[in-house]
Amino acid sequence: MCSASSKEENKEILYNIIDNWDPKKRHVYSGLFFSSFFCIFGYGKVEGNDTISAYRGPKELCKIIKEEHWGDFDALDRAATKAARVYRDHVVSMYCFLFLAVFFAVAGGIGLFSQVVFWGIAEGFTLLFISLVLYRNNKKEKPTPHAAWLVLRRAAEKIRANALLLTCQDLLKNEDRADSSTRIKSMLLALLDDQAKYHESTYTKWQAVHHSIEKSKRYIFLGVVITVSLHLLSYTESFFDPSGYTSAILHALHEQKWFLLITAAGPALATSLHGLSDKLEITNVSNQSLKMKENLNELYQLVKNSKPIDHTLLNTQVQQAADLLSSDRTEWTSTVEGQNIGLHDV
């Protein structure tokens, strides 16, 4: 009785989360800032400013699986996509404004462009925005975007895997076994190929972003080293004739206040990029997708080369596919579940 009551309560909680996050057919802008920012680093395309549609899988899969097996998948998929976009928008915003907080503080300290008041106001707005992001991602009364994303995505992928298993059982039970085996094999190959392409795309995209961020960090470090070297060089002014060009140049270098801006804001920018990469688990997600793509392609070849009349083997392969999708979901969850936005990020 207690177990049944607990299941109903969990179901009600899930439906509340869906209601909060499912955009249905509404136009949304979530994900626009995140994807626009990462396009600088090779993300590929700008997301957001669109209508989120659920993706059940390849058409070969959708034609065979009965509507009743999909259940709440569409709502869960749309809601999970929106929650993921909002979370990523918040992460990128958080680290961008952490960098800007340092930049504005130093710019105000050195009186850049003689606009001390302007930099002070900008700093105030930056800290306010950081506080709002922290508040939005630490509210107790409802799930944060990060928590909602994990719950919704897990539930959606569980339905997809169950729909695959239930459809295979129905086909083998109600149709000619030779015909059903052919249809199951076709459906399974389409699913494995679709998932392998998704993970290949994910790996390629995040690898490009990772390499671009690492390259940017190296350029920032080089810029800071050059700036510090120039500043240290300016202290050799006393070794030269005060009336000479060399002394004048070194004196001018010594007077440059913007050197401080580069040496303070440069490391802050590199740190923000590194924190952003860690928070979104870019390297781990990329490596996980590479491994998953290889596993899916291996199973694809096994299914493709197997005899369609071998029902026992086909059943085993269907179960392997479901287990593979389940393990991917579990590994993905363990990778990103500890990455909610909190005070530890500041």
Q: In degrees, to the nearest 5, what angle opens at C-alpha 336 toward C-alphas 326 and 74?
A: 55
Closest alpha carbon to 276 in 122, 87, 116? 87
pLDDT on residue 75: 95
- Count, residues in the chain: 346
Compute the average pLDDT of residues 233-260. 71
Rounded distance between C-alpha atoms, residue 142 and residue 130, angstroms: 20
- Amino acid (1-letter code) at residue 225: V
State pLDDT tens for residues 205-238. 999 999 999 999 999 999 999 988 887 887 776 6
Q: Let me know: does 217 contact 277? Beta carbons within 8 Å.
A: no
Structure tokens at 30: 């979530």
CA atoms of 87 and 138, how far apart (whole Å): 12
Confidence at 6, pLDDT banded by 50, 70, 90: low
| Mean pLDDT calculated for residue range 102-128 | 91
How sure is the predictor about 86, in pLDDT bands with cuts at 50, 70 and 90?
very high
With residue 116 as reference, give the H or E element that holds it: helix 116-136
Look at residue 258 and tell me whether its pLDDT is greater than 90: no
Alpha carbons within 13 A on the beta-carbon side of 311: 12
pLDDT, tens only, 152-207: 999 998 998 888 888 887 877 765 666 777 888 888 899 999 999 999 999 999 99
Q: Rounded to an integer, what distance in angstroms lies between the CA atom of residue 167 and that of residue 181?
A: 12
User: What is the Cα–Cα distance from 170 to 273, expressed in whole angstroms?
Assistant: 50
Query: Is-contact 102 265, C-beta < 8 A?
Result: yes
Average pLDDT of the residues in 9-25: 88
Amino acid at position 260, single letter: L
pLDDT over 90 (residue 112): no
Judged against a pLDDT cut of 80, whether residue 243 lies above it is answered with no
Through-space distance between the first and last CA atoms of the chain, rounded to whole angstroms: 46
Q: What residues contact residue 8 under an 8 Å CB cut-off, 6+ apart?
A: none
What are the boundaries of each domain within the chain?
A: 12-22+56-345
- Express the helix, strand and coil content of the chain in percent, nearest 5 each: 80, 0, 20
Q: 305 pLDDT exceeds 50? A: yes
Would you list the DSSP string of 176-232? -HHHHHHHHHHHHHHHHHHHHHHHHHHHHHHHHHHHHHHHHHHHHHHHHHHHHHHHH
b/e 49-88 (16+ beta carbons within 10 angstroms → b): eeebebbbbbebbeebbeeebbebbbbbbbbbbbbbbbbb
Residue 336 has pLDDT above 80, yes or no: yes
pLDDT above 80 for 250: no
The pLDDT, as a whole number, for residue 52 is 94
What average pLDDT does the structure give for the chain? 87
Whole-angstrom distance, CA of residue 31 vs CA of residue 37 = 10
Give the pLDDT score at 1.
Answer: 45
pTM of the model: 0.89
Beta bridge partners of 27: 51
Say if residues 47 and 149 touch (Cβ distance below 8 Å). no
Q: State what percent of residues in the chain have pLDDT above 70.
A: 89
d(C-alpha 57, C-alpha 109), whole Å: 55
